[in-house]
């Protein structure tokens, strides 16, 4: 024999109720409460330093500790806010009559889940607005700095043009400077070629070598001759400079690759942690709504009238 809630009946082939099974009022109320509470807790966590993203780099045990602390705090935030919102949703809904206990439990659970989903959307909207404001403010600041830098660069370019000099904006400019840097004991520069043309050709050789992973033997000999002629050092010293610069560029590329891989792994970890916390929040909100709905029905049974 099926167990039904008080004042409920089990019918077969009865007419469909004209009243919707969803009470949006309690759902919205619970979602608003959960959103406000989660924002307050996140602000509290930021004040306590329990943030999952930090502008300062950490490593080893410190990074692990920060990640674990942030995850625990996010779970706490989701559990408390979703639990309170779900309980309010279940407690504030109207009592369903002529509905089986199993259906009451399902509806309360669904109301809790809807409350959590709406609260999550509200929280994401608020967070997106805050992030957009921060980004736009930062972009304005960067734009101001860039404008000032452009003005200064324009002035410097004008001075360089008046002096008959050419600014080298090549990404390999620093390495090229090290290649053509003359030692203190070197003889005066006896170069006859245009410096801009020499550096441009050397830059193309380095770019080609970077794509191939190594400097070809012919390019290495030719580049060493150019360096020797322009800087006044011997060809052997020039070849040593080439080997040093190539090694430094490879190390810089490897460091950048490792940094990108670390950032990728960090993004994956953060995504999994956020997904886990959201899943916990959905479960807690659904359970709390069913718990609150059961309390509401039990109280109505014990106190049918407000005396």
The per-residue pLDDT string of the chain (307 residues; one tens digit each, 9 = 90 and over) reads 344 444 444 444 455 555 677 888 999 999 999 999 998 988 888 887 765 444 444 444 466 777 788 888 889 999 999 999 999 999 888 877 777 888 888 999 999 999 999 999 988 888 777 656 655 655 555 455 445 544 544 444 444 444 444 444 556 665 666 676 555 444 444 555 577 777 777 887 787 777 777 787 887 888 888 888 888 888 888 888 888 888 888 888 888 889 898 888 888 888 888 899 999 999 999 999 999 988 888 877 776 665 5
User: How many residues would you count in the chain?
Assistant: 307
Give the pLDDT of residue 212.
74
**CA count, 13 A, side-chain hemisphere, 106:** 6
Which residue range is the domain that position 53 belongs to? 24-147+261-302
182 and 247 fall within a common domain: yes
Asked if residue 102 is part of any domain, the answer here is yes
Per the listing, tokens 């009470």 go with: 23
- Whether 84 and 29 map to the same domain: the answer is yes
Burial state string for 95-117 with b = 16 or more CB within 10 A and e = fewer than 16: ebeebbeeebeebbbbbbbbbbb
- Is residue 198 situated within a structural domain? yes
Please state, in angstroms and rounded to a whole number, the distance separating the CA atoms of residues 257 and 245. 18
Measured distance between the N- and C-terminal CA atoms of the chain, rounded to whole angstroms: 35
State how many domains the chain has: 2
The whole-angstrom separation of Cα 21 and Cα 100 is 13
Quote the DSSP letter at residue 170: -
- 49 and 94 both lie in a single domain: yes
Q: In Å, how far are 13, 231, 292 from 8, measured between CA atoms?
A: 16, 98, 19
Identify whether 189 is part of a domain: yes
Last residue of a domain, one of 219, 237, 255: 255
pLDDT confidence of residue 291: 92
For residues 29 and 92, the answer to whether their CB atoms sit within 8 Å is: yes
């Amino acid at each position: 024999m099926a167990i039904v809630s008080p004042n409920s009946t089990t019918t077969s082939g009865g007419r469909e109720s004209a009243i919707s099974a969803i009470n949006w009022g309690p759902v919205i109320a619970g979602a608003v409460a959960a959103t406000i509470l989660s924002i307050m807790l996140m602000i509290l966590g930021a004040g306590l330093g329990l943030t999952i993203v930090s502008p300062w780099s950490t490593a080893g045990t410190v990074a692990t500790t920060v990640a674990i602390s942030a995850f625990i705090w996010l779970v706490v935030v989701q559990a408390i806010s979703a639990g309170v919102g779900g309980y309010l949703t279940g407690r504030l809904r109207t009592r369903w009559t002529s509905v089986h206990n199993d259906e009451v439990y399902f509806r309360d659970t669904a109301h809790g889940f809807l409350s959590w989903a709406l609260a999550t959307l509200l929280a994401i909207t608020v967070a997106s607005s805050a992030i957009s404001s921060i980004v736009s403010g930062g972009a304005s600041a960067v734009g101001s700095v860039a404008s000032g830098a452009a003005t200064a660069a324009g002035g410097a370019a004008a001075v360089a043009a008046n002096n008959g000099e050419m600014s080298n904006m090549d990404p390999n400019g620093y390495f090229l400077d090290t290649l053509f840097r003359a030692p203190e004991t070197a003889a005066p520069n006896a170069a006859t070629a245009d410096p801009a043309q020499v550096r441009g050709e050397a830059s193309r050789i380095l770019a080609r070598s970077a794509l191939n992973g190594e400097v070809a033997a012919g390019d290495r000999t030719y580049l060493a001759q150019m360096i020797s002629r322009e800087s006044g050092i011997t060809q052997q010293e020039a070849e040593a400079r080439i080997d040093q610069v190539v090694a430094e560029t490879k190390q810089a590329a490897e460091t950048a690759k490792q940094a990108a891989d670390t950032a990728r792994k960090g993004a994956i970890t953060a995504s999994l942690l956020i997904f886990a916390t959201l899943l916990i929040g959905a479960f807690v909100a659904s359970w709390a709504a069913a718990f609150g709905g059961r309390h509401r029905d039990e109280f109505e049974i014990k106190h049918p009238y407000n005396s």
